[in-house]
Amino acid sequence: MKLTVLVDNNTLIDRYFYGEPGASYFIEDEGKKILFDVGYSDVFIKNAQKLNIDLLNLDFVVLSHGHLDHTWGLDPLIRLYTEAIIENLNHKNPIIIAHPLTFYSKKNNGLNEIGSIISEVKLSKHFNIKLSKEPVWLTKKLVFLGEIERKNDFEAKIPIGKIVINNSENDDYLLDDSALVYKSSTGLIIITSCSHSGICNIIEYAKKICEENRITDIIGGFHLLEPSKEQLQGTLEYMKKLKPYEVHACHCTDLNSKIALSKVINLIEVGVGLKLEYK
């Protein structure tokens, strides 16, 4: 499995890519091409072009959850495929994979929409959509986890704004937040974008679904942005016991949290253009 970071808050030194507060990863496995999240704008397309990555031949587009920094790139993606049709360019028709709550409207801090600006109905006119709470295997070794079980007492306890369901506003605990997991020969590769469901919850659920306790790498946002003392300490204690081979924490992981994590795990820098490969 090969993974390339197309969007992150950071870019690598002496690599001339675009960064933004968002996430997007291009993944290749068993001949399948997967785009995991689309960031906030068209930056993922620009960076893919710089990296000579063809986004017109995707098999799957997986969305981690509905927030703007992970889904608003759907608009330029639709434009990219629409223009390909107009110009008679070779292209596939990727399947969109997401949790059933991903396209519901979300509100927070006076903003009336922080969720996807493309509705499920509109998106279905361009791509096939598969919504699932259950795990979905994209290849023999790569799985979309669906709805994450939340079992610990220090993560995912505080709602982020409201989610609008049947014209009713409810506290949003981001039940749509999910992740990808790859079963490598040395252990699991956890690929997450924001970890609203809790990075430790995600890892435990990944171990359950994949029937594997070894963790080789964790890449993505840990949602440790000025975390509570309880959340940060719980995460540190968990990671210390877990002993992953290495960790690529990025996106929504603040500096203080990275410093704390670096004291208990092998933390490695992440930026747009980073390429990782696992067997």
d(CA 138, CA 32): 8
Helix (H) or strand (E) holding 258: helix 255-262
Give the helix/strand (H/E) hosting 217.
strand 215-221
Q: Which domain holds residue 134?
A: 2-277
Whole-number Å distance between alpha carbons of 86 and 268: 43
pTM: 0.97
Give, in degrees to the nearest 5, the angle at Cα 168 between 162 and 169.
15
62, 180 Cβ separation under 8 angstroms: yes
3-class DSSP state of 168 = strand
DSSP-derived 3-state class of residue 123: helix
Helix, strand, coil percentages for the chain (3-state, nearest 5)? 25, 30, 50
**Length of the chain, please?**
279
For residues 276 and 68, what is the distance between their CA atoms, to the nearest angstrom? 26
**Number of domains forming the structure of the chain:** 1
Q: Tens-digit pLDDT profile for the chain (279 aa)?
A: 999 999 999 999 899 999 999 999 999 999 999 999 999 999 999 999 999 999 999 999 999 999 999 999 999 999 999 999 999 999 999 999 999 999 999 999 999 999 999 999 999 999 999 999 999 999 999 999 999 999 999 999 999 999 999 999 999 999 999 999 999 999 999 999 999 999 999 999 999 999 999 999 999 999 999 999 999 999 999 999 999 999 999 999 999 999 999 999 999 999 999 999 999
Query: How far, CA to CA in Å, does 97 sit from each of 184, 217, 222, 237?
Result: 22, 23, 21, 33
Q: Which residues contact 166 (CB under 8 A, 6 or more apart)?
A: none
CA proximity to 116, closest of 43, 158, 65: 65
- What CATH number does residue 245 fall under? 3.60.15.10
CB 192 within 8 A of CB 221: yes
Element (H, E) at 259: helix 255-262
**What does the DSSP assignment read for 60-88?**
EEE-S-S-HHHHTTHHHHHHHHHHHHHTT
